[in-house]
Structure 1
Amino acid sequence: MIILQPFLQPDLGLMMFKPGKTLLSELVKMSQGNRLIVMPLPEELVNVPSGKVSRSVIPDSSKSLVDDIRLLEFFNHIDVQKRLGSFKHWLERIPHCQLSDGEYCDKNLTVLDNAVRVCWHHDNQERKSRSIETESIAQRNVLVWGLESVRSQLRLDRHISLPELCWWSVVNGVYEHLPQSIVDDVFGVKKKPDTNGLVIRRESDERFELNSKAILKERAGAVKLIVDDEPPAMFMSRPKEITWQSERYLKFVRSLPCVVTGKTEGVVAHHLIGHGEGKMGAKTHDLFTMPLNADEHRKFHDDPKGWESKHGSQLFYVKQTIKKALELGALS
């Protein structure tokens, strides 16, 4: 499949393309003397540059979640957007004006209200008078960007399903922001019937009583901290010190954005060093950790004091990480 920008000549009844020599030879091979299909660009490929596309099949729009407006609330949440990547960068890769009406478009492009890719001509028009189409495209962009980012992070070569989106949200610690109706669909929970109507159900039908979000939280595997107000070691004269370890908690910390750069890729769980912790030959408790990008982690170990003088005390970031874990239900 090849993506090309058309140049319309309405007065002459012509539509022209400029594929270049390399792509023209590809088109000759594809056509073999036959006709070629010209069709609108699938929304999932809106920011793919012109040229040959590696995907061997055209996306099946019937399986796409891009029409599910319930996901707008989820993708617009600030915590979710931190894990999806830069929406602005995604928009800037769109190589054409999204408000083009087949008439005049300026060759220079910009981003309108951080939501729509437009040329300078249509940007001026929209600033004078907003159109309903602009709002619709803005919402569509958020949905396409969010779904494409999740698909890319899951390394899928097809549309993602609701269960896969749910899995992504669990891995990234943002499952609590999923709309209730989405989680209900994933777990097959039925909507409670109107008690004022004539619908009659058996009391044994538990599908109407399930709390899908509670199920998701339970299955996401929150790390449990069991409190013992009178531990046996408390009554020993020389109790052996125990280091609290939890790979599941470290995995949660690594799913958070770096406390310095905000990056979500290449994040490691940095254990607190100094401040009475991280003694020679031993690591501190896994609870005393914070997310750091690998590059930032290396800079810290090269000069711990210099790092803290520039970015602040580790204690603050460790506290913020624990606070986030409690707020998201990773610790309970």
Structure 2
Amino acid sequence: MRVLLRPVLVPELGLVVLKPGRESMQVFHNPRVLVEPEPKSMRGLPSGIVPDVRQPLAEDKSLLPFFSDERVIRAAGGAGALSDWLLRHVKSCQWPHGDYHHSETVIHRYGAGAMVLCWHCDNQLRDQTSESLEQLAHQNLSAWMIDVIGHAISGTQERELSLAELSWWAVRNQVADALPEAVLRRSLGLRAEKIRSMYRESDIVPGEQTATSILKQRTKNLAPLPHAHQQNPPQEKTVVSIAVDPESPAQYLQRQKPQREEMPVYTR
């Protein structure tokens, strides 16, 4: 959480007085806080809690095939990580069209994404398909992917994630081939390919490389990095020889004869 406050200087005492609101008070419960000048981008914001940075990539519909790819989801942590992220960030039912919402919530999976629903809405919407559910699932999936990639690249969510950073994350995790062709052209700085109804023969460029082939050619020499989501190959178990004591004949007797045990230390 970041807070934008107006300081009051008391030069006679060498003090600075800050007056945070009730919602901003929890920032000062930490042992130390970071103080820095107001950036130019925040001069128009009111005093109080600074809202989260808007992520335009989360609203880019051309990235939905990339976010919905099974390998990309696995590289980001898997469906279980998406559920944990939703439970941490969403505290109430996300379905806005219900007239009643239970206090208990569950994870409702829809396609490659998921959403947080209460028990009542989960029973009502189970095995149903609609455009609203698909949009909500894609919205949660995109927000989770942007959050995971942002933390992997810079470790913070206080700035906007760029397309170049997203592409580098995809290359580093070996899922760059899942990026759509239009997104790769934007990332590589190529002009958008225009699809027209009619082409002249002079407009056809033979042997023109696609953005996917260019990226594959440039990254073919990169060494694969270890991933947390990949499991190590099973190793062969070494054979351990165990020395077994010989069986005692007395163990097969129903009533064993008691044996006298003498300890010279105590009987001498």
* Interval containing the TM-score (normalised by the shorter chain): 0.5 to 0.7
Aligned partner of 1:59 in structure 2 is: 52
Instruction: State the shift of 1:120 in Å.
Output: 0.8
Q: Within 2, Cα distance between the matches of 1:304 and 1:28?
A: 53
Stretch deviating more after TM superposition (77-86 or 173-182): 77-86
Output aligned runs, 1:180-191, within 5 Å: 180-187=181-188, 188-191=190-193
Equivalent residues, number:
192
Output aligned runs, 1:74-85, within 5 Å: 74-85=66-77
Aligned partner of 2:230 in structure 1 is: 258
Q: Within 1, Cα distance between the matches of 2:22 and 2:178?
A: 48
> Is 2:6 the partner of 1:73?
no
Output aligned runs, 1:141-220, within 5 Å: 141-155=140-154, 156=156, 157-187=158-188, 188-192=190-194, 194=196, 196=198, 209-220=208-219
Determine helix, strand or coil for the equivalent of 1:254. Answer: coil
Q: Within 2, Cα distance between the matches of 1:65 and 1:132?
A: 21
Q: Within 1, Cα distance between the matches of 2:51 and 2:139?
A: 19
Q: Give 1:259's aligned amino acid.
A: Q
Q: Within 2, Cα distance between the matches of 1:81 and 1:189?
A: 29
Q: Within 1, Cα distance between the matches of 2:69 and 2:127?
A: 29
Aligned partner of 1:90 in structure 2 is: 85
Instruction: State the shift of 1:148 in Å.
Output: 1.2
Determine helix, strand or coil for the equivalent of 1:110. Answer: strand
Q: Within 2, Cα distance between the matches of 1:25 and 1:166?
A: 37
Q: Within 1, Cα distance between the matches of 2:93 and 2:132?
A: 13
Stretch deviating more after TM superposition (177-186 or 64-73): 64-73
1:202/1:174 CA distance change after superposition, 3 Å = closer
Instruction: State the shift of 1:98 in Å.
Output: 0.4
What's the TM-score once normalised by structure 1's chain length? 0.49
Determine helix, strand or coil for the equivalent of 1:90. Answer: helix
- Aligned-residue sequence identity (percent) comes to 25
Output aligned runs, 1:109-128, within 5 Å: 109-113=105-109, 115-127=114-126
Q: Within 2, Cα distance between the matches of 1:152 and 1:82?
A: 16
Is the CA contact (8 Å cut-off) linking 2:98 and 2:121 kept in structure 1? no
Instruction: State the shift of 1:95 in Å.
Output: 1.3
The superposition leaves residues 285-314 of structure 1 with CA deviations (integer Å, 9 ceiling, x where unpaired) of xxxxx6x9xxxxxxx7xx9528xxxxxxxx
Determine helix, strand or coil for the equivalent of 1:170. Answer: helix
5+ residue gaps, structure 2, are 3-19, 28-47, 240-268
Is the CA contact (8 Å cut-off) linking 1:171 and 1:255 kept in structure 2? no
Q: Give 1:143's aligned amino acid.
A: S
Q: Within 1, Cα distance between the matches of 2:82 and 2:23?
A: 35
The superposition leaves residues 217-256 of structure 1 with CA deviations (integer Å, 9 ceiling, x where unpaired) of 1222x23xxxxxxxxxxxxxxxxxxxxxxxx53xx14147
